[in-house]
Chains A and B, each alone.
Chain A
């Protein structure tokens, strides 16, 4: 018996409508990344983001203002503590503004990473009941923090106005560095999300890791504190590139040199390996979650 794999042969006009053929089998683990399928499910991705936003600020009085509270409070704390030390911030930039311009992209990164790494475990209920590209889950987990980020950016703009700092034309690079932060969060987040399905230890590791990572990145101090000969190693942390670039795009200062390429390469490598690992393990998610 020949199974008609090519619906073009169909004579019944009804069949013209349903050309979709789904093949189920033990698939090749090195198969493609399934990005086109991801694209065809983009509506669902927006629904997930929309749900996260709705749920996060439901039954709160201040709503999305809470998104700004975290970086603002951290900025106040650091201004009154670390900020008093000489040389922590660069010369010519008020420390509060310097710290906040680091904390805003850092919050985007940290929140996205935390949400992404717990996203699959939190979505257990639907993962065991319905099919959709699993990659949607960690990706959309980051989505709602973009909205929080935009709210924080308004506050950052007001602060710049207050301190009289005007961005140069370099500000056009800002979206690129924001995407850079997200790509880094996604790369690490996808790795952790997939491991978390099997080992719940990840949940605890992630929280600690994000905190430690913040002090290993130039969030509240300037990266020029690091000796010149170690800059390349320091740049292996993609967030070094993100934060330096982000501040440069907003407030000028020294233009990122070639060490930023190290950051970009590190970030893309993590993302690429995470996608491969995710695709290799996702077929067992529903069984072990």
Chain B
């Protein structure tokens, strides 16, 4: 006996690009075409161009799993969600959903700008599939989550975009479907709110509900989704544990900033340049996702075109909001290993020791400069890579705030002479 919440079998979706254009045309044109060419011979040839947004997609999601859907733009991720949430129908194939279904493809679905926040909570909740009694029961919770205070009776058209997003997500977060589809909604809102949304999603996942989550944020996928589906060109490239699928996907798209490997275009005019940056885990794997308890190595491939005495590399590790958490340059090591490198390709590595950075997302800023009295920039590629660290070792895990993940020694000594 199976216990799958979502069963997808051979799902395909075809769009006809030419006809889609014609469909938006005027009635007269169509009538004219129908009159002059009743059999549609010409139209059939010149106007239809089939585009398969999804092609023979099959997979099964066990009840209570959280599955991330990854893939480049145009891979069919959104089409898949639209079919599963019944907004559009597949051309062929079928899917079975077991349980109450909810979809969250947009923040603030159904909001009307003229209505107040209070009225929009009711309206959006109803459109998303909540019963009136259910919305009223959760109303205070929703307003508290949105954190918009006294503006609840103000028309939404006067809200800031941030407030609108918060209110929209608050409604959506209180949906209680058994099967939930979510499309890249976490890409909006400020950092603090994003974290709050991720936290809420984590809660949803722990509740034993089935979630299918589309995102370009590999950090969110690896944090929230034990399983991943990799779509590309409308086809399934891989389906399984995120720990396997995400690195595979990430390797296939090396140019992506969040993938752990970035190739920089060669510029022959430079005396030296960084041509590739990779983030390596302690066992040498290229990955943008690491662990606090392991070291993280930033590896640069440096193309030196002439002798440069006094060359050094400068690196900052920043939080996404721009705060510099760690700065280091190659002068930290004596003698400077970059001083007067041989012409050709050189591999430069710098390793952040284990238990240095707190769990979270980091950007790596790099520049190359010469330090020979005449200080000058050789190559400033800027923020070239990003990585995320998770803490699986300490009891506090990813919830550890602050800048460091250093585990401090704690001691307890009985005070001698005390207690007499």
Contact = CB atoms under 8 A, between A and B. Distances in A.
Contact of A24 (B4, B95, B98, B103): B95
Interface in B4-54: 4, 7, 15, 20, 23-24, 26-28, 30
B238 interface: no
Given A128-B87, A130-B103, A132-B127, A23 B96 contact: yes
A47 B115 contact: no
B2 A54 contact: no
B89 A24 contact: yes
Interface in B222-276: none
Max count, chain B CB within 10 A of own CB: residue among A21, A47, A130, A202 = A130
Given A18-B98, A25-B94, A201-B28, A47 B126 contact: yes
A288 B127 contact: no
A126 B110 contact: yes
Given A43-B131, A129-B106, A130-B127, A3 B96 contact: yes
A7 B3 CA distance: 11
Contacts of B92: 26
Contact of A18 (B26, B28, B99, B128): B99
A257 interface: no
A127 B82 CA distance: 11
B93 interface: yes
Interface in A9-63: 9, 12, 18, 20-27, 43-44, 47, 51, 54-55, 58-59
Contacts of B110: 125-126, 130
Given A24-B97, A129-B109, A283 B2 contact: no
Nearest to B82: A286
Contact of B26 (A24, A54, A201): A201
B91 interface: yes
Contacts of B71: none
Contacts of A58: 114-115, 155
A4 interface: yes
B86 A131 contact: yes
Interface in A68-113: none
B94 A24 contact: yes
A44 B126 contact: yes
B123 A47 contact: yes
Interface residues of A, number: 42
A199 interface: yes
B1 A9 contact: yes
B89 A43 contact: no
A55 B86 contact: no
Interface in A114-129: 125-129
B304 interface: no
Contact of B95 (A4, A25, A131, A132): A25
B90 A131 contact: no
Interface in B310-365: none
B122 interface: yes
A233 interface: no
A127 B105 CA distance: 11
Interface string B104-122: 0110011010110001001
B35 to A, nearest CB: 16
A13 B89 CA distance: 32
B132 interface: yes
Given A23-B94, A55-B112, A55-B115, 10 more contacts: A3-B4, A4-B1, A24-B94, A25-B90, A43-B132, A47-B126, A55-B114, A129-B87, A131-B103, A284-B88
Interface of B: 1-4, 7, 15, 20, 23-24, 26-28, 30, 82-101, 103, 105-106, 109-110, 112, 114-115, 119, 122-123, 126-129, 131-132, 155, 178
Interface of A: 1-4, 7, 9, 12, 18, 20-27, 43-44, 47, 51, 54-55, 58-59, 125-132, 198-202, 283-284, 286-288
27 contacts: A4-B1, A18-B100, A18-B178, A20-B98, A21-B97, A21-B98, A23-B95, A25-B90, A26-B91, A44-B126, A47-B126, A47-B127, A51-B119, A54-B114, A55-B114, A59-B114, A126-B127, A127-B87, A129-B103, A130-B85, A130-B128, A131-B85, A131-B86, A199-B26, A283-B88, A283-B89, A288-B23
